[in-house]
């Protein structure tokens, strides 16, 4: 079984990837999308988006970070994949799922699901520049506004040489709200021979088990819940290995928050860093039920603090109590 930390633009960046992969349980991460349009992007763009490239393409915990590219021109995407590989990317993922109207208006992201042939061409062209030993995959939704094309798309992605396909079990117009349709994952899995990575609405151990049994998949990508429940992948592993599932103490979560804040010192934007810490804490207030109260109390305490160092001191004091 593989567990994958999802790409989440504006949320799961290098700092949070480092903290979450340190907890353990994930086999690899996928970076936030790098948008490619008409040219090969400069090296600095790749380093800015995925600083792990300067660390052999892995987080401090040693978890590989595959690079996700998003665009619509087969040769431009292929050349950017080659650039990413030359910088040491341990894997490449292609984005065919972004629902943003701006991106879709420019013919990229989920709108491409209306053009199965184009998806096939993009994957095929990119496979030419990604060495066979490098994991190469595509991430799709069930369609743009209908599911009529998804089997053709999945079969096209396999025929074009991808090693795996991640399916976020919603259409693009479903955005993130409607429940994920895991039964589609089973249909797709049965129509192709490459592994399907199941994605959408895995939010705790129960939903993981249900997704596994409905989809029949062995590989899972976790998005929003990975940030709300930083210990989820570890708990899922415990559940599949018939071990006792350890309850997460608030002190452990707070320690992660402290480590995250210390890491944010590396960022050159103090107010931005303080907001990032508060943003994550706010998300934790909706996390594991047994810790929500503590998260809320702490959030109230640091809500108006704008200096990162002050937040770090407050976290240290409450940590010692
Ligand atoms: C804030 C946010 C940003 C996202 N950014 C990306 C992205 O850059 N690339 C991508 O393929 N999917 C992106 N997604 C989609 C997630 O990877 C995932 O497919 C989706 O959230 C469903 O999984 P979940 O229910 O486990 O969250 C994003 C989702 C969110 C909420």
pLDDT of residue 320: 53
Do residues 232 and 280 share a domain?
no
Q: How many CB atoms lie within 10 A of CB 98?
A: 22
Q: How many domains does the chain have?
A: 2
Nearest CA-CA partner of 259 in 21, 32, 53: 21
DSSP secondary-structure letter at 303? T
Q: Which residue is closest in CA terms to ligand 1's atom 15?
A: 8
The residues carrying an active-site annotation are 98
**Chain center to CA of 258:** 22
Query: 139 CB under 6 A from ligand 1?
Result: yes
Q: Could you tell me if residue 245 is inside a domain?
A: no
Do residues 62 and 201 share a domain?
yes
Tokens at residue 162, please?
């991808």
Decide if 283 contacts 228 (C-beta within 8 A).
yes
pLDDT of residue 268: 77
Q: Which residue is closest in CA terms to ligand 1's atom 19?
A: 168
For residue 57, what are the contacts with CB-CB under 8 A and spacing of at least 6? 50, 64, 65, 88, 89, 90
Query: 32 CB under 6 A from ligand 1?
Result: yes
Q: Please give the distance, rounded to the nearest whole angstrom, from the Cα atom of residue 98 to the centre of ligand 1.
A: 8
pLDDT of residue 270: 75
Domain that includes residue 295, residue range: 250-320
Tokens at residue 213, please?
């049994």
Q: Please give the distance, rounded to the nearest whole angstrom, from the Cα atom of residue 289 to the centre of ligand 1.
A: 23
pLDDT of residue 318: 63
Segments of the chain with pLDDT less than 70:
318-321
Do residues 190 and 301 share a domain?
no
* Per-residue pLDDT reduced to its tens digit, 152-209: 999 999 999 999 999 999 999 999 988 999 999 999 999 999 999 999 999 999 999 9
Do residues 151 and 257 share a domain?
no
* Per-residue pLDDT reduced to its tens digit, 256-272: 999 999 999 988 777 79
Burial 104-142 (b: 16+ CB within 10 A, else e): beeebbbbbbbbbebbbbbbbbbbebbeeebbbbbbbbb
3: left (phi over 0), alpha (psi -120 to 50) or beta: beta
Q: Could you tell me if residue 100 is inside a domain?
A: yes
Decide if 10 contacts 45 (C-beta within 8 A).
no
Instruction: Determine the residue of 223, 226, 280, 283 to mutate for testing ligand 1's pocket, defined as the one with the most ligand atoms within 8 A of the Cβ atom.
Output: 223
pLDDT of residue 319: 55
Q: What is the CATH number of the domain that holds 315?
A: 1.20.225.30
Final residue of a structural domain among 181, 210, 240: 240
pLDDT of residue 271: 77
Final residue of a structural domain among 197, 218, 240: 240
pLDDT of residue 275: 94
């Amino acid at each position: 079984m593989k567990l994958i930390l999802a790409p989440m633009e504006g949320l799961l960046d290098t700092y949070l990837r480092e903290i979450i992969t340190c907890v353990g349980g994930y086999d690899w991460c996928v970076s936030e999308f790098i948008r490619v349009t008409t040219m090969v992007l400069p090296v600095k763009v790749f380093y800015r988006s995925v600083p792990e490239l300067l660390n052999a393409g892995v987080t401090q915990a040693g978890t590989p970070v595959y690079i996700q590219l998003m665009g619509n021109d087969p040769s431009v995407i292929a050349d950017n994949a080659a650039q990413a590989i030359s910088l040491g990317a341990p894997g490449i993922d292609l984005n065919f799922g972004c629902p943003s109207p701006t991106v879709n208006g420019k013919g990229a992201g989920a709108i491409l699901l209306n053009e199965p042939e184009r998806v096939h061409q993009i994957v095929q062209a990119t496979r030419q520049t990604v060495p066979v030993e490098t994991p190469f995959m595509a991430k799709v939704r069930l369609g743009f506004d209908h599911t009529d094309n998804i089997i053709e798309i999945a079969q096209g992605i396999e025929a074009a040489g991808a090693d795996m396909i991640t399916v976020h079990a919603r259409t693009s117009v479903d955005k993130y709200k409607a429940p994920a349709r895991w039964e589609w994952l089973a249909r797709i899995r049965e129509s192709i021979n490459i592994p399907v990575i199941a994605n959408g609405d895995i939010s705790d151990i129960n939903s993981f088990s249900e997704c596994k049994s409905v989809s029949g998949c062995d590989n899972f990508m976790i998005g929003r819940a990975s940030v709300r429940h930083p210990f989820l992948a570890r708990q899922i592993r415990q559940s599949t290995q018939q071990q006792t599932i350890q309850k997460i103490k608030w002190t452990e979560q707070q320690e992660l928050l402290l480590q995250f804040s210390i890491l944010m010192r590396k960022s050159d934007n103090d107010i931005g860093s303080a907001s990032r810490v508060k943003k994550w804490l706010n998300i934790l207030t909706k996390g594991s039920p047994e810790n929500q109260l503590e998260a809320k109390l702490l959030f109230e305490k640091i809500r108006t603090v704008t200096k990162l160092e002050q937040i770090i001191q407050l976290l240290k004091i409450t940590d010692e109590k």
